[in-house]
Chains A and B, each alone.
Chain A
Amino acid sequence: MITLEGITKVYRAGEVEVPALKGVSLHIPEGEFVAIMGPSGSGKSTLMNVIGCLDQPTEGRYILDGYDVSALTDDQLAWIRNRKIGFVFQSFNLIPRVSAAHNVEMPLIYAGDSVQRRERAMAALESVGLLDRAGHLPNELSGGQQQRVAVARALVTDPAILLADEPTGNLDTESSLEILKLLRDLNQQGRTIVLITHEADIAAFAQRVVRLRDGVIVSDERQALAAELVR
C-alpha cells in the first residue's frame, strides 16, 4: 500500500541546509494500523507531509497504492490527496463558515463527483455517529465532535489510507479515547491507518510502532493489541 525507499528531505534556510529526513525506508501493507512516534524535531511531521503528498521528498521513491508519487505535478498531487488520502489534523481544520455536512461533502466537490454527494456525506457522518449534527456549524460542536466530522470528511472519498496527525492533541481524555476507538474500529473494517503522535499511550492503539529520531527510523516493532488494555 505504502512503500518509502530512501526518502530524504532537506530544507533550505537561506545558505544553511537542514536535513529533516536522512533516508527513510518503510513499507506499510494494506489494512495495517501504524503509529509513527518521535519527539519534536525527529522529522515525523516532515514524514507525515511526504506520506500525505503535501510535500515532495528531496530524494527517494514513494509508491502509494501503485502510484509513484515522487514525480508528480501540483495538480496531480491534489488528485492523489483527494482520492487516496484522508487527513485528520490535530486542529480539526474544518471550514468554519459551512455546516458539518458541507465540510464532509467538500472532498467530493473537488473530486468533481456529483453523484449522490449529499447522501455519501450523510453516510460518512452516520459512520462516525454524528448524523444528527449534520446541519451544525463547526463552532457549534464540541472538540470531539469536530474531530469526528473531520474523520467523516477523511472517509467520504473512500481513500487508501487515513493519515492522522496528532488527532487527539487538542482533545480531553474522554474525547481522545472516542477518536482512537473510532480509528481502531475503522482499522478493523480493513482501513489502513497511519497515526502520528509523540505519546506512547496513544501509539499503544496501533499494531505497529515506528520510532523516528533525528530523521532516521530507530525502531520498528509490532505489538500485541495493547488497545485491549484500555477496554
Chain B
Amino acid sequence: MSILEGLRLAVNGLLANRLRSGLTMLGILIGVSAVILLVGVGNGASVAVQQQIQSLGSNLLTVFPSNARGAGGVQQGFGTGSTLTLDDVKAIANRQSSPDVVTAIPSAGGRAQLTFGNQNWNSSLTGTTEDFPSVRNYPLASGQFFTAGDVDASSKVAVIGQTVVTNLFSSEDPIGQVIKINRQSFRVIGVLAQKGSSGGFNNQDDVVVVPITAAWNYLLGGRGRNVQQIYVEATSAEATSAATTEVTEVLLDRHHISDPTQADFQILSQQDVLNSASQTTGVLTLMLGAIAGISLVVGGIGIMNIMLVTVTERTREIGIRKAIGARRRDILMQFLIESMFLAGLGGALGILVGFGLSRILPLAVSSLPTPIISMPSVFMAFGISVGIGLFFGLYPANRAARLRPIEALRYE
C-alpha cells in the first residue's frame, strides 16, 4: 500500500466522522496556536525590555570600587571601597589613553532630606560634574545644568527631577528658588526632563543633582572626597568592550596594580545588564512555551482517545481488510497516517490561528508586548504536532494491526 493510498484512506476515514475529527483537531489547533502566540509574546517582551535598556544608553559603562575589606579580610558590601578619585575620572576621560571613551563623570551621593517652604521630601542625591546630562542621558526640561565653574567653585546649586518638583512645589516655578538639602541652602537652576522608570526599583525622576564638590563640602560630611561610581560614555555601543579594556588599563596603571584579578574596581557595562535581562526574558519565553506545550500534549491525548474509539468502531473493517490480504504493516500505516494527518492538519490550522491572534490580540490588550513570531517556533510547532500524531497514534494503530482476523470479522 502506497503512502498516497494511505492518505486517501485517512481522509476518507476522517470525513466519515466530520464533527469528531474536527473536535479532535481543535485540541491540537489550540495547542499549536498557544505555543506560537505565547512564544511570540515572550519574544516580544524580550525585545521590548532590550529596547528599554538600550534607551538608557547602551554605550554606558559604570566603574565601581571593589568591595572594601574590613579587619581580617572580611568582605564588605558591593561597591563599598573608596578607591576611586576625581583624578581617576580625569584620566579615564583623557582621549589620548582611552580613544573609545567620550567622557567620564564621577558620582557620589546618598539620601537627602529636601525642604521648600513647608513641604519636605526625601530624595536621592547625586554629586557629579557638568557632563552628567549627556553621559546619563538626562535632557533638561527647563533652566540649565551647572557648569565646570560651578564644580570648581563648589557652588551651592541644584538640578532636580520631576518627582521632586511635584513634591516640593505646588504652582510656583522651581527655577531660582532656594531649597534646603540636609539643611544647607541650594538654589535650583534646572529641572530634568521626565525619564520614567528604568525597569528596576529606582525612580529615575526622584533625583537631586549637585556639583560633586558641593556634595563633598556640605552634604556628605565626614565621608571624605571619594567617588562612589564613575560613569563612562563610550563612543558607541560596539565600542563598549574596547572602552572597558582601556578604562581597566588606565585604572590598573594609576592604582599600581599589575595583576588584573586583584583590581580594586569593577566595570559593569550596559551590555552586561542587557545580557542578564535577555536571560530573564529567555526563561520567561521558555516558561510560556512550556505551558502552551502542555495543552499540545492534552490535544495529543485527545487524538489517542479518538483513535482508540475509531479502531474499536472499525474492528470489522479491519477484519475484512485482513481477510482480503492486508498485512499488519498496512493496517498500522492506515491508522498512523490517519492520526498524523489529523494532528498535522490541526497543527497547520493552529499556525494560521496563532498568526491571526498575534495580530489581533495586541489591538485588544494594549499592555501586551507585540508578539514576535519566530519561524523556527512555527516549524517546530508543526513538527511537534505531527510527532504527537505519530506518538499518540502508535498505540491505537498497533492495537488495530494486531487484531486477529477471525475475531475482528466476528465483531459486531
Contacts and interface: CB of A to CB of B under 8 A. Distances in A.
Chain B binds chain A: yes
B324 A87 contact: yes
A112 B1 contact: yes
A89 B316 CA distance: 12
Contacts of A114: 2
Contact of B1 (A79, A87, A93, A110): A110
B406 A110 contact: no
B406 A78 contact: no
**Which residue, of B16, B327, B330, B406, has the highest number of chain A Cβ atoms within 10 A?**
B327
Contact of B324 (A49, A75, A153): A153
Given A97-B16, A112-B1, A107 B409 contact: no
Interface string A91-122: 00111111000000011011110100000000
Contacts of A54: 323, 405-406, 409
B320 A78 contact: no
Contacts of A81: 322-325
Contacts of B2: 114
B324 A82 contact: yes
Contacts of A97: 12-13, 16
A93 B325 contact: no
B409 A110 contact: no
A79 B325 contact: yes
B327 A110 contact: yes
Nearest to A78: B327
Given A54-B406, A55-B406, A97-B13, A75 B323 contact: no
Interface string A70-86: 00001100110111000
B326 interface: yes
Contacts of B5: 109
**Which residue, of A49, A54, A87, A98, has the highest number of chain B Cβ atoms within 10 A?**
A54
Contacts of A95: 317, 320-321
Nearest to B5: A109
A110 B5 CA distance: 10
Contacts of B409: 54, 89, 93
Given A54-B406, A55-B406, A112-B1, A98 B326 contact: no
Given A54-B406, A54-B409, A97-B16, A107 B328 contact: no
Contacts of A96: 317
A52 interface: yes
A55 B409 CA distance: 12
Contact of A75 (B12, B13, B316, B327): B327
B325 A110 contact: yes
A110 B324 contact: yes
Interface string B362-393: 00000000000000000000000000000000
Contacts of A49: 406
A91 B322 CA distance: 16
B323 A110 contact: no
A78 B326 contact: yes
A87 B327 contact: no
B35 to A, nearest CB: 34
A110 B320 contact: no
A93 B326 contact: no
A81 B330 CA distance: 14
B13 to A, nearest CB: 7
Contacts of B326: 78, 110
Contacts of B1: 109-110, 112
A107 B405 contact: no
B2 to A, nearest CB: 8
Nearest to B6: A109
Given A49-B406, A98-B12, A109-B1, A93 B327 contact: no
A118 to B, nearest CB: 13
B397 to A, nearest CB: 16
Contact of A107 (B13, B317, B324, B406): B324
Interface in B1-31: 1-2, 5, 12-13, 16
Contacts of A157: 325
Contacts of B324: 81-82, 87, 106-107, 110, 153
A81 B321 CA distance: 11
A113 to B, nearest CB: 10
Interface in A138-155: 153
A87 B409 CA distance: 12
Contacts of A112: 1
A96 B17 CA distance: 13
Contacts of B406: 49, 54-55
A83 B325 CA distance: 8
B320 A93 contact: yes
**Which residue, of B2, B317, B325, B406, has the highest number of chain A Cβ atoms within 10 A?**
B325
A125 to B, nearest CB: 16
A54 B406 CA distance: 6
6 contacts: A54-B323, A54-B405, A81-B325, A82-B325, A93-B319, A112-B1
Nearest 6 A-B pairs (CB), nearest first? A82-B325, A110-B325, A78-B327, A107-B324, A75-B327, A93-B320
Given A87-B323, A93-B316, A95-B317, 7 more contacts: A75-B328, A81-B323, A93-B320, A93-B323, A94-B320, A97-B13, A157-B325
Interface of B: 1-2, 5, 12-13, 16, 316-317, 319-330, 405-406, 409
